[in-house]
């Protein structure tokens, strides 16, 4: 005869039957919210039934003790494999030892059902006390329901004790909650865009939903309202509420799916789970989805990220209500002092918006001026301010911008003005934050529609952590991160690569290249670099970038994988270096590619860029930079004059192709690669005017660095005289290059800073300055006379002492000797060096002058009597140069 089932046994059987039915219903399409509610209800009945039976047996359970559900179960949400948090709440009169046995029996019954029970016993006085070391318990007690036992004990806890705790410790609880949330977000790189996210703990996941509810409760308590049960979506702004409810409902359903699938409390949406969820239409309207056809995992994940974004934004808005001093981590409010510190130049007066306590707020719509949310000028300036300051956008402003998007798109103009705005955003220290906000608002895709293809795009590979769009933002963050010193194992390398970043002359193009580099992945053609370059071409056209800028940008994107590829070869092999140098072609492109590769690797995964990889990258950069400098003299425009650049220059000078080819013949290829066709055209035209004046100059003034281009027939002491003329006016040469062609025409370019601010403070002196330099170069004025009368300012003591050195390389060029001079940068240095060279009868074939901080680095390809310098000549020249450098410094 079968054994008669005990009442407890019947309860267990009923519980298991109901749970199976609930699971079946879920798999047939029931929503997650209904599922977890039904499960909580079934659990309630089991627990209450067991308690009632236990109370019949033990009188001690009949008063002075209440059984309270906490945490998720306390909210009435019970996921398939979540813990069941139960608190046995004791009145002061009940001793724990008296109730230990009956509590243990109840717990055992529940464990026997396979329930993951987390029981705890607390005196009411303990439960109402906030422990700063156990913030999690305090937070879980915010979600509570009485299941059984002494209702009076529970009421004293819920209505009185908790209220007092919130009043007394509410601020500390908020601070603790924000800190915990910040730490959790940091663990996930402060982004929700993971390829295999945890839908509970990742930003934008269910834990953030709970945080929103807790903040609401804590905020209500701070306002003197009675703490009630939390509920998602209550009291949100109308625009967000339905979106938020739908997002939460979606996440509930996905979590149930994952629990049933994994058969444990595993909340990771791994790839297999993504495929299965898409196939099973989890979280989707099944009828509609069936009509529309199969849903791919990529589309399904985009839906996930859309919902997660809504949750994350809601959390950010909730945190705006938290007093500034209690915010930590990514929600730390930037104080006024910090705001003024990050500004590189004074903030322009803001029109249409204001900065208020770390938030950027759109101005009100006023009369004929209209709504600033519809004005692209205001909106773009606002995001530029965000990029400069790191401030976040006010929620109301976000909503206004979302609504104004259609009108914004009709008013948006392309071209140089748009490029100027974009540059301001890209170059801001917090560009990544501003771009993320623009992306979330749909404004980034308004400006760059090509970006839409990679919105929340999941590309599955074992290495990438983030979606393609987030990877792009992290890359941009990494580049900007090089602007400030870093600590840790990567600190030294960040410092070195930060030095390269400081030398980049086209920073905005670097960041624009970063923004576009993976857009091609949205088109799945297999060659995403090429595809991204094609897409960037139309962006460059819309922004009306000039030819040089376009080529630099497209070259960066097209070749952005080349350096990583070279790293997989032998980086000490000259062939590897030479092949890669062929891709980079110019020092500026090399700097950009190097920085890009550094940031690209780092943005794959936080651990991807190791000191080992950074060192190899650095070595390859050094080797290639040296190769480019050392190959300048040998790589000249020759018989291969049918190059594209030559074509472009000729196209600008119709009917003069032969003269153009003759002019360009024998210039180092570096000259062509570092000049736009328009600049080369200008130099050609300057040379054509030799009949009127054999010294042709073009002067461009700028407050920080001015520029003179000299086109003239070569002669002895030409470089030295030019350097001397500039030194006589107190100009400090920052960079210079000098190239000559077969016809003996030199094109020398000097960029210099104005030590005494003569030109800045006296615009009337510009013409006199140019005339003076011209007279020296034309032989009408003696440079020694000018130098004799030169104003000698008091020289500041250098911050870093640079040891002078002179090195020769006989192998770099087939017909000249490479000379590198490194010395303390100071006015007159280049004059001293070039005069010494002339004094020793050396002809400068090519000059590349550069300055890095306080170090002057001058590279010359020199010949003497048309040949390389022998060892003796090198020795003598070295002695003379070192003496001249020392004399100039004293």
Contact partners, residue 527, CB within 8 Å, separation at least 6 = 520
d(CA 829, CA 752): 13
Minimum CB separation from another protein for residue 722, in Å?
A: 23
Minimum CB separation from another protein for residue 572, in Å?
A: 8
d(CA 846, CA 534): 36
d(CA 675, CA 790): 33
Minimum CB separation from another protein for residue 571, in Å?
A: 8
- Residue (109 or 629) nearer to another protein, CB: 629
- Residue (517 or 602) nearer to another protein, CB: 602
- What three-state secondary structure class fits 462? coil
- Residue (712 or 820) nearer to another protein, CB: 820
852 binds another protein (CB under 8 A): yes
* 687 touches 680 (CB < 8 A): no
Minimum CB separation from another protein for residue 563, in Å?
A: 14
Minimum CB separation from another protein for residue 736, in Å?
A: 16
Q: Which residues are paired to 824 by β-bridges?
A: 855
504 binds another protein (CB under 8 A): no
- What three-state secondary structure class fits 517? coil
Binding track over 854-873 against another protein, x by CB under 8 A: -x-x----------------
- Which pairing describes strands 84-90 and 117-123: parallel, antiparallel, or unpaired? parallel
- Residue (23 or 496) nearer to another protein, CB: 496
- Residue (117 or 622) nearer to another protein, CB: 622
802 binds another protein (CB under 8 A): yes
- Residue (543 or 822) nearer to another protein, CB: 822
- Residue (559 or 851) nearer to another protein, CB: 851
Specify the residue for token string 């003569």.
758
Tokens representing residue 127 in the block: 């439960």
Minimum CB separation from another protein for residue 819, in Å?
A: 13
Minimum CB separation from another protein for residue 823, in Å?
A: 8
User: Residue length, the chain?
Assistant: 890
d(CA 155, CA 176): 26
**Which of 111, 299, 572, 756: binder of another protein (CB under 8 A)?**
572
Q: 117, 78, 116: which is closest to 255 by C-alpha?
A: 78
Minimum CB separation from another protein for residue 839, in Å?
A: 23
* 823 touches 829 (CB < 8 A): yes
570 binds another protein (CB under 8 A): yes
Tokens representing residue 787 in the block: 């130098």
The footprint of another protein on this chain (CB under 8 A) covers a number of residues equal to 25
Calculate the CA 526 to chain-centre distance.
Answer: 25
Minimum CB separation from another protein for residue 818, in Å?
A: 11
Strands (E), 339-494: 353-356, 359-362, 392-393
- Residue (659 or 855) nearer to another protein, CB: 855
605 binds another protein (CB under 8 A): no
807 binds another protein (CB under 8 A): yes
502 binds another protein (CB under 8 A): no
- Residue (153 or 623) nearer to another protein, CB: 623
886 binds another protein (CB under 8 A): no
810 binds another protein (CB under 8 A): no
Class of residue 336 by CB neighbours under 10 A (exposed 0-12, middle 13-18, buried 19+): exposed
Calculate the CA 520 to chain-centre distance.
Answer: 19
- Residue (838 or 857) nearer to another protein, CB: 857
* 482 touches 595 (CB < 8 A): yes
Minimum CB separation from another protein for residue 484, in Å?
A: 22
CA atoms within 13 A on the CB side of 20: 6
* DSSP conformational letter for 76: T
* DSSP conformational letter for 339: H
**Which of 93, 97, 345, 568: binder of another protein (CB under 8 A)?**
568
Scan residues 606-665 and list those touching another protein (CB under 8 A).
610, 612-613, 615-616, 619, 622-623, 625-626
Instruction: Give the torsion sign (CA, 868, 873, 874, 878).
Output: negative
Q: Which stretches of the chain bind another protein, using CB under 8 A?
A: 567-572, 610, 612-613, 615-616, 619, 622-623, 625-626, 802, 805, 807, 820, 822, 850, 852, 855, 857
């Amino acid at each position: 005869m079968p054994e008669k089932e005990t009442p407890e046994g019947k309860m267990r059987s009923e519980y298991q039957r109901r749970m199976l039915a609930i699971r079946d219903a879920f798999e047939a399409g029931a929503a997650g919210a209904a599922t977890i509610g039904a499960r909580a209800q079934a659990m309630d009945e089991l627990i209450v039934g067991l308690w009632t039976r236990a109370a019949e047996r033990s009188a001690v359970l009949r008063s002075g003790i209440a059984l309270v559900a906490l945490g998720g179960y306390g909210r009435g949400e019970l996921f398939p494999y979540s813990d069941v948090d139960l608190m046995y709440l004791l009145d002061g009169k009940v001793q724990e030892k008296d109730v230990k046995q009956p509590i243990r029996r109840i717990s055992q019954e529940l464990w026997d059902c396979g329930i993951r029970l987390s029981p705890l016993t607390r005196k009411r006085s303990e439960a109402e006390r906030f422990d700063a070391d156990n913030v999690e318990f305090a937070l879980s007690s915010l979600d509570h329901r009485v299941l059984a036992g002494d209702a009076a004990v529970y009421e004293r806890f819920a209505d009185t004790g908790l209220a007092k705790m919130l009043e007394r410790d509410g601020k500390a609880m908020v601070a603790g909650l924000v800190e915990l949330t910040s730490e959790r977000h940091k663990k996930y790189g402060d982004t929700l865009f993971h390829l295999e996210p945890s839908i509970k703990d990742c930003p934008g996941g269910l834990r953030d939903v709970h945080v929103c509810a807790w903040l609401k409760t804590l905020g209500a308590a701070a306002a003197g309202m009675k703490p009630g049960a939390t509920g998602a979506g209550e009291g949100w702004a109308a625009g967000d509420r339905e979106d938020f409810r739908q997002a939460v409902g979606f996440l509930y359903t996905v979590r149930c799916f994952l629990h049933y699938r994994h058969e444990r409390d595993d909340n990771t949406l791994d790839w297999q789970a993504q495929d299965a969820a898409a196939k099973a239409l989890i979280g989707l309207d099944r009828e509609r989805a069936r009509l529309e056809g199969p849903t791919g995992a990529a589309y399904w994940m985009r839906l996930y990220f859309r919902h997660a974004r809504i949750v994350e934004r809601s959390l950010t808005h909730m945190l705006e209500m938290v007093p500034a001093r209690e915010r930590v981590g990514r929600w730390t409010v930037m104080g006024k002092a910090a705001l003024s510190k990050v500004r590189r130049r004074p903030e322009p007066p803001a029109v249409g918006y204001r900065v208020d306590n770390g938030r950027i707020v759109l101005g009100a719509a006023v009369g004929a001026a209209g709504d600033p949310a519809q004005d692209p000028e205001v909106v773009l300036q606002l995001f530029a301010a965000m990029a400069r300051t790191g401030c976040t956008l006010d929620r109301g402003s976000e909503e206004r911008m979302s609504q104004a998007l259609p009108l914004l798109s009709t008013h948006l103009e392309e071209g140089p003005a748009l490029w100027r705005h974009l540059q301001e955003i890209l170059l801001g220290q917090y560009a990544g934050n501003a771009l993320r906000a623009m992306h979330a608002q749909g404004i980034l895709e308004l400006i760059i529609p090509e970006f839409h293809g990679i919105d929340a795009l999941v590309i599955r590979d074992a290495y990438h952590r983030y979606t393609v769009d987030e990877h792009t933002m992290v890359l941009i963050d990494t580049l900007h991160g090089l602007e400030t010193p870093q600590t840790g194992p990567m600190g030294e390398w960040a410092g070195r690569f930060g030095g390269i970043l400081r030398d980049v002359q086209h920073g905005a193009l670097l960041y624009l290249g970063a923004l576009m580099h993976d857009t091609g992945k949205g088109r799945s053609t297999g060659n995403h670099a090429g595809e991204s370059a094609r897409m960037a071409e139309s962006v460059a056209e819309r922004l009306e970038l000039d030819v040089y800028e376009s080529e630099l940008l497209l070259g960066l994107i097209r070749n952005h994988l080349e350096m990583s590829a070279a790293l997989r070869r032998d980086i000490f092999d000259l062939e590897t270096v030479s092949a890669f140098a062929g891709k980079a072609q110019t020092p500026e492109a090399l700097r950009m590619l190097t920085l890009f590769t550094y940031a690209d690797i780092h943005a794959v995964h936080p651990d991807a860029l190791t000191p080992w990889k950074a060192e190899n990258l650095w070595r390859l950069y050094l080797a290639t930079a040296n190769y480019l400098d050392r190959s300048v003299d040998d790589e000249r425009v020759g018989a291969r004059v049918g190059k594209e650049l030559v074509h472009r220059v000729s196209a600008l000078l119709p009917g003069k192709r032969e003269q153009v080819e003759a002019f360009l013949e024998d210039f180092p290829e570096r000259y062509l690669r570092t000049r736009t066709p328009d600049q080369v055209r200008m130099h050609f035209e300057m040379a054509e005017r030799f009949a009127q004046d054999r010294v042709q100059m073009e002067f461009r003034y700028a407050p920080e660095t001015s520029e003179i281009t000299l086109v003239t027939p070569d002669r002895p002491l030409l470089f030295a005289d030019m350097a001397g003329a500039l030194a006589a006016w107190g100009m400090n040469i920052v960079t210079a290059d000098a190239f000559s062609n077969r016809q003996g025409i030199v094109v020398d370019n000097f960029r210099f800073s104005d030590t005494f601010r003569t030109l800045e403070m006296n615009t009337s002196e510009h013409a006199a300055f140019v005339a003076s330099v011209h007279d020296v170069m034309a032989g009408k004025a003696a440079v020694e006379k000018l130098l004799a009368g030169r104003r000698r300012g008091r020289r500041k003591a250098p911050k870093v002492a640079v040891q002078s050195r002179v090195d020769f390389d006989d192998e770099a060029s087939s017909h000249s000797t490479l000379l590198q001079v490194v010395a303390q940068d100071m006015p007159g240095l280049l004059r001293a060096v070039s005069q010494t060279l002339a004094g020793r009868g050396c002809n400068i074939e090519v000059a590349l002058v550069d300055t890095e901080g306080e170090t002057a680095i001058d590279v010359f390809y020199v010949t003497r009597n048309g040949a390389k310098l022998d060892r003796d000549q090198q020795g003598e020249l070295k002695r003379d140069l070192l003496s001249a450098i020392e004399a100039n410094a004293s």
